[in-house]
């Protein structure tokens, strides 16, 4: 028999990546009296799989939230504003252009290398009262009780909490332990990411170009650089990854063309298999899913973390409204109700975009080019796209 009671927390967050760490910080900003723990499998957050070499496009609405939680002030100096987004289809007539000026906004969004976010959150959470970090650690058993969740870690330590939030990414083990199931649709594509150096200024322009090899996104970064996201079919990915840096730069230049200027050099590459993976439930007894554990979407439209930011804002609001019953049935139902619509819209729209722009048929090409042309000509069609890009529509 154990002689010590398990340590009791208000919330335990499984997974201290982008979504889990941001949630911990936002919660403790809103409710400093809470006791929160993170259980993270990796010893160092900065070098974790979540805070790797990728860059993300943050919608203006996500930046508003980061500002509200006191994080943007530490990130802004490393972020690059997106003032214009150009969407085009290589070899076809269609194109669309969105600009912040048209919508009287300072920017449509910002691009940030996620390692900066990892470093900031690591520093801030390390000194935050109410915060405990178990790392490296994983949950090996989840045992639900009426008022609490009882957790056993793989090293034998035991914790209890009113609410377990699972934010372990798309391949979460705790999600399965807690009894959630998922629906998965592999895209048979990988995303290759790298930074490209330019001799010219990028004028804060982002590009999304649909090419015969697959969609290419270029996001502007500080210091005359683009962050590249290149979607490649599974059967071609090894060949592209094996190119040396000069050959890879030439390949991207040839595939994209010269609309965004000349690419001088390429940095380190990484690649990710792509699937749509959705959990069939958002919550169970005293458990909530968040971020990629709840919804993993294709990066084509840069929506994954922006969606997670809205999960976080909602969960913080619900915890704040229910401090005497954190993790209770009513609170979790409200979180689920509030998130389902947004997740459905974004995952369906992203999936439709992948199918439309990965299809080589002439009918599909005509349809997407008519769509892009119509958006250029008609503000009524463009506005929803711009609002989605800025994160002000769900
Ligand atoms: C190429 C690419 C480009 C993208 N671009 C954008 C973009 O422009 N805009 C955008 O909004 N989104 C973008 N995304 C999506 C974004 O990266 C994800 O939405 C985000 O990383 C999700 O964060 P997360 O914390 O939910 O999951 P993850 O980043 O996967 O983090 C999960 C964390 O949980 C930990 N963990 C895993 N298993 C366990 C376990 N069993 N126990 C304990 N800890 C565990 C991991 O170590 C990690 O720290 C992009 C994604 C890709 C692949």
- For the domain that residue 254 is a member of, what is the CATH number? 3.30.9.10
Domain count, the chain: 2
| Position in ligand 1 atom list of the atom nearest CA 15 | 34
- 371 domain residue, yes or no: yes
Q: Residues 216, 264: one domain?
A: yes
Q: Whose CA is nearest to atom 41 of ligand 1?
A: 173
- 301 domain residue, yes or no: yes
Residue 36 half-sphere exposure, CB side, CA atoms within 13 Å? 30
* Mean of the per-residue pLDDT values of the chain: 89
Q: Whose CA is nearest to atom 52 of ligand 1?
A: 299
> What is the percent of the chain with per-residue pLDDT over 70, rounded to a whole number?
86
CATH code (residue 65) = 3.50.50.60
* Least confidently predicted of 58-62, 68-72, 288-292: 58-62
Q: Residues 247, 261: one domain?
A: yes
CA of 69 to the centre of ligand 1 (A): 20
Q: Give the pLDDT mean for 40-68.
A: 84
CA of 50 to the centre of ligand 1 (A): 5
Q: Whose CA is nearest to atom 31 of ligand 1?
A: 17
| Position in ligand 1 atom list of the atom nearest CA 17 | 49
Summarize pLDDT for 166-217 with one digit per residue, the tens. Answer: 999 999 999 999 999 999 999 999 999 999 999 999 999 999 888 777 789 9
Is the Cβ atom of 176 under 6 angstroms away from ligand 1? no
Q: Give the pLDDT mean for 130-146.
A: 96
Q: Residues 60, 121: one domain?
A: yes
Is the Cβ atom of 291 under 6 angstroms away from ligand 1? yes
Q: Residues 164, 59: one domain?
A: yes
Confidence of residue 285 (pLDDT cuts 50, 70, 90): very high
pLDDT at 355 over 90: no
- 76 domain residue, yes or no: no
Q: Residues 263, 178: one domain?
A: no
Q: Residues 156, 56: one domain?
A: yes
Higher pLDDT, 191 or 53: 191
pLDDT at 1 over 50: no
Q: Whose CA is nearest to atom 11 of ligand 1?
A: 305
Is the Cβ atom of 305 under 6 angstroms away from ligand 1? yes
CA of 143 to the centre of ligand 1 (A): 26
pLDDT at 49: 66
- 227 domain residue, yes or no: yes
- 347 domain residue, yes or no: yes
Q: Residues 107, 256: one domain?
A: yes
Q: Give the pLDDT mean for 73-96.
A: 84
Q: Give the pLDDT mean for 344-367.
A: 74
- 128 domain residue, yes or no: yes
Q: Residues 49, 146: one domain?
A: yes
> Tokens standing for 252?
């991207």
CA of 17 to the centre of ligand 1 (A): 6
- 1 domain residue, yes or no: no
- 2 domain residue, yes or no: no
Is the Cβ atom of 16 under 6 angstroms away from ligand 1? yes
pLDDT at 379 over 60: no
Q: Residues 267, 198: one domain?
A: yes
Mutate to test the pocket of ligand 1, among 168, 277, 278, 390 (most ligand atoms within 8 A of CB): 168
Q: Give the pLDDT mean for 312-325.
A: 96
Summarize pLDDT for 362-375 with one digit per residue, the tens. Answer: 555 555 555 555 54
Q: Residues 238, 254: one domain?
A: yes
Q: Residues 179, 303: one domain?
A: yes
CA of 48 to the centre of ligand 1 (A): 10
Q: Give the pLDDT mean for 317-337.
A: 96
Confidence of residue 94 (pLDDT cuts 50, 70, 90): low
Q: Give the pLDDT mean for 115-139.
A: 95
Confidence of residue 382 (pLDDT cuts 50, 70, 90): low
Confidence of residue 96 (pLDDT cuts 50, 70, 90): confident
Domain that holds residue 282: 7-71+114-184+276-351
Confidence of residue 353 (pLDDT cuts 50, 70, 90): confident
CA of 270 to the centre of ligand 1 (A): 14
Q: Whose CA is nearest to atom 1 of ligand 1?
A: 191
Is the Cβ atom of 165 under 6 angstroms away from ligand 1? no
Is the Cβ atom of 303 under 6 angstroms away from ligand 1? yes
Q: Residues 228, 340: one domain?
A: no
pLDDT at 135 over 70: yes
Of 96-100, 285-289, 376-380, 381-385, highest mean pLDDT = 285-289
């Amino acid at each position: 028999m154990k002689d010590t009671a398990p340590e009791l927390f208000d919330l335990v967050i499984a997974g201290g990546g982008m979504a889990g760490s941001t949630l911990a910080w936002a919660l403790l900003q809103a409710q400093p009296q809470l006791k929160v723990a993170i259980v993270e499998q990796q010893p160092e957050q900065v070098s974790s799989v979540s805070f790797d070499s990728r860059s993300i496009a943050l919608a203006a609405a996500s930046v508003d939230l980061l500002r509200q939680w006191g994080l943007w002030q530490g990130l802004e100096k490393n972020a690059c504003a997106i003032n214009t987004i150009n969407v085009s289809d290589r070899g076809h007539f269609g194109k669309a252009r969105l600009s912040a000026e048209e919508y009287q906004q300072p920017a449509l969004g910002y691009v940030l290398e996620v390692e900066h976010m990892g470093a900031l959150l690591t520093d801030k959470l390390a000194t935050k009262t109410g915060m405990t970090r178990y790392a490296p650690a994983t949950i090996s058993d989840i045992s639900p009780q009426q008022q609490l969740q009882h957790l056993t870690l793989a090293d034998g330590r035991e914790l209890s909490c009113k609410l377990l939030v699972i934010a372990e990414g798309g391949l979460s083990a705790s999600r399965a332990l807690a009894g959630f199931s998922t629906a998965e649709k592999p895209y048979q594509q990988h995303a290759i990411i790298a930074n490209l150096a330019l001799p010219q200024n990028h004028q804060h322009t982002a590009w999304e170009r649909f090419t015969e090899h697959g969609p290419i996104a270029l996001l502007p970064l500080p210091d005359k650089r683009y962050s590249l996201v290149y979607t490649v079919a599974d059967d071609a990915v090894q060949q592209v990854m094996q190119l040396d840096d000069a050959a890879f730069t030439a390949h991207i230049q040839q595939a994209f063309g010269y609309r965004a200027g000349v690419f001088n050099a390429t940095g380190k590459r990484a690649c990710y298999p792509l699937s749509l993976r959705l959990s069939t439930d958002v919550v169970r007894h005293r458990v909530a899913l968040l971020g990629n554990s709840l919804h993993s979407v294709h990066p084509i439209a840069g929506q994954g973390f922006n969606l997670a930011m809205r999960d976080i804002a909602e969960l913080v609001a619900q915890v704040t409204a229910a401090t005497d019953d954190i993790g209770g049935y009513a609170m979790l139902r409200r979180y689920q109700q509030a998130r389902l619509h947004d997740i459905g819209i974004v995952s369906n729209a992203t999936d439709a975009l992948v199918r439309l722009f990965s299809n080589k048929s002439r009918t599909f090409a005509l349809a997407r080019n008519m769509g892009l042309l119509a958006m250029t000509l008609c503000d009524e069609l463009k506005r929803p796209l711009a609002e989605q890009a800025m994160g002000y529509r769900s």
